[in-house]
Amino acid sequence: MKTIFLIALLFCSTLLWAGDVSIGISPGSITLDNVLKGGYAEGAFSVGGGSDGSETMLVTLGVSGPIKDWVSFEQQQITVETGTMKQVKFTVRPPNTTANGVYDGTIIATAVPSAEGLSGTDSELSVVSSVSLALSVGVTGEQTLDLVVDDAAVGDIEEGQPLQAVVTARNPGNVNVAPSVKLEVLQDSTLLMSERKTSTVEILPTTTKSFSTTFSTMELVPGDYNATVSVFLSADDNTPISQTTVPFKVFPAGTLGLSGAFESLAASGGYVNEQVRVQGAFRNTGNGGVVAQLKGDVERGGAFVSAVESDEVYVPAGSTVTLVAYYTPTEKGSYSMSAYVKYSKLQTETKDTTFNVAERPTSVQAPSETTTEQGTAASAPNYAIFGVVVVLVVALAILWKYYFSGESKPKRKR
């Protein structure tokens, strides 16, 4: 009897060890109100967890209650990596014959360790784990047409290209919406074009979608513009639910991938009839190399004086160069300069700087001081030579006295 008990205990412990799995679901409940009978609604939840002995687990999804035939999933079975949560979307479609009211049901997620990574015996002995989510659906027969615009934008284009208005909108109502979009293009408050189109995209209830509407821009030349994007609930509505004005640019053909930044402008002060150095820093922020040139106008007292420009310099993509130009003033005073960088067919914004020009001071030297300094400098070596000569003469005189004159010979004692 003891032997049978021990075998049964060992079997149970092996069962739990081989297939121990945990699963979680979030949120714990979902409520979908104002769902039209015969209509459509979407929801989402996350499911995940972990298991011993496997890197993944297999989750099977199901529904119970009066709504079980209304709910469907993108996939009935999903694989979830251990220690992660995976989002699951579901749709609800109440039949046309459904009576108005609130219907409650349950979404059930059942998990077992994935067969991958487990032995055949372990897979067969895996313990099933499940978790549930309460789902409440409110059904109505009254239609609600609604749309909320979250964003509207247009992008830069090249000359002759169509302009796309991209709208992101969500449908909090319970019927499909096919919005209408109107585009107005202005330059300096002047209306240049206006066109309205109905989208071919329908936005389903409870969903969010981005869609684009294309407009012709054949009459727009390169320059800066503003676009007003108006969104209507349908082609029959004349009152927009949203209006957004955004700037955009039209570039010359073949230049949209080019861009640059004029980072700084500086001019050094100088003297009359001498060159003033003007330098501008340009950074190529585009995708290809460009040829850049600094161009500007110099003014004095508000009056135009001269145009200046640098040499053309090739600038690889992502590089920064210093463009240098020179100007030679003929009068002293305060000067101002406005300059920009031309690159390929484009140009940067304008930057300003100022500089001062003065008369070069005349240098006057005092002759007495110059003579004294030169004399001192020249006499220093002469004194040194004279001193050396004196020392040599004295030394020779002493030697002559003691070695060559008679007085220098010592007398022998007798």
54 or 248: whose pLDDT is higher? 248
306 or 117: whose pLDDT is higher? 306
In-domain check, residue 393: no
In-domain check, residue 299: yes
Q: What is the mean pLDDT of residues 369-389?
A: 48
> Which pLDDT does position 127 carry in this prediction?
58
- CA nearest 57: which of 20, 29, 99? 20
301 vs 166: CA distance, rounded Å: 49
Q: Lowest-confidence range among 166-175, 356-365, 377-386?
A: 377-386
Tell me the per-residue pLDDT of 251-286, one tens digit each, with 9 for 90 and over: 888 888 888 999 999 998 889 999 999 999 999 998
In-domain check, residue 2: no
Q: What is the mean pLDDT of residues 302-326?
A: 94
Question: Is residue 9 predicted with pLDDT exceeding 90?
Answer: no
Which range marks the domain in which residue 95 is found? 17-140
Q: Do 124 and 155 share a domain, yes or no?
A: no
Question: Is residue 103 predicted with pLDDT exceeding 70?
Answer: yes
Tally of residues, the chain? 414
Band of the pLDDT at 39, cuts 50, 70, 90? very high
> Which pLDDT does position 227 carry in this prediction?
96
What is the residue-averaged pLDDT of the chain?
A: 83
Q: Which amino acid is present at 272?
A: V
User: Which of 10-24, 50-64, 247-261, 365-379 has the highest mean predicted lDDT (pLDDT)?
Assistant: 247-261
Question: Is residue 248 predicted with pLDDT exceeding 80?
Answer: yes
**Domain final residue pick, 358, 376, 401:** 358
Residue 95, classed as helix, strand or coil, is coil
**Residue 410, CA distances (Å) to 288, 393, 398, 407 in order:** 104, 24, 16, 8
340 or 115: whose pLDDT is higher? 340
Q: Do 42 and 136 share a domain, yes or no?
A: yes
- CA nearest 318: which of 288, 343, 346? 288
In-domain check, residue 375: no
In-domain check, residue 349: yes
CA atoms within 13 A on the CB side of 391: 6
Q: What angle do CA 12, 15, 21 make, to 5 degrees?
A: 130
Tell me the per-residue pLDDT of 210-242, one tens digit each, with 9 for 90 and over: 999 999 887 899 999 999 999 999 999 999 999
> Which pLDDT does position 366 carry in this prediction?
44
Q: Check: CB of residue 136 under 8 Å from CB of residue 197.
A: no
Q: Check: CB of residue 212 under 8 Å from CB of residue 180.
A: no
**Domain final residue pick, 251, 268, 303:** 251
Q: Do 298 and 341 share a domain, yes or no?
A: yes
Q: Do 223 and 269 share a domain, yes or no?
A: no
Q: Do 194 and 100 share a domain, yes or no?
A: no
238 or 376: whose pLDDT is higher? 238
**Domain final residue pick, 140, 167, 196:** 140
| 208-215 β-sheet, strand order | 148-154, 163-170, 208-215
In-domain check, residue 411: no
> Which pLDDT does position 165 carry in this prediction?
93
Tell me the per-residue pLDDT of 171-211, one tens digit each, with 9 for 90 and over: 999 999 999 999 999 999 899 999 999 988 899 999 999 99
Cα radius of gyration rounded to whole Å, the chain = 46
In-domain check, residue 320: yes
Return all residues near 185 (Cβ < 8 A) that are at least 6 apart: 163, 191, 192, 193, 194, 217, 220, 225, 226, 227
User: Hunting for tokens 């609600």 — which residue is that?
Assistant: 144
In-domain check, residue 373: no
Q: Do 22 and 133 share a domain, yes or no?
A: yes
Band of the pLDDT at 414, cuts 50, 70, 90? very low
Q: What is the mean pLDDT of residues 291-312?
A: 95
Q: The domain spanning residue 168 has which CATH number?
A: 2.60.40.10
Question: Is residue 82 predicted with pLDDT exceeding 60?
Answer: yes
CA 102 to chain centre: 47
Tell how strand 29-36 and strand 129-140 pair up.
Answer: parallel
Q: Do 247 and 264 share a domain, yes or no?
A: no
Q: Do 166 and 72 share a domain, yes or no?
A: no
Q: Do 237 and 314 share a domain, yes or no?
A: no
> Which pLDDT does position 268 carry in this prediction?
87
> Which pLDDT does position 11 carry in this prediction?
34
Q: Do 198 and 119 share a domain, yes or no?
A: no
| % of the chain beyond a pLDDT of 90 | 63
> Which pLDDT does position 347 carry in this prediction?
92
Question: Is residue 312 predicted with pLDDT exceeding 70?
Answer: yes
Q: Do 177 and 285 share a domain, yes or no?
A: no
Q: Do 129 and 25 share a domain, yes or no?
A: yes
Question: Is residue 111 predicted with pLDDT exceeding 80?
Answer: yes
As for how many domains the chain has, the answer is: 3
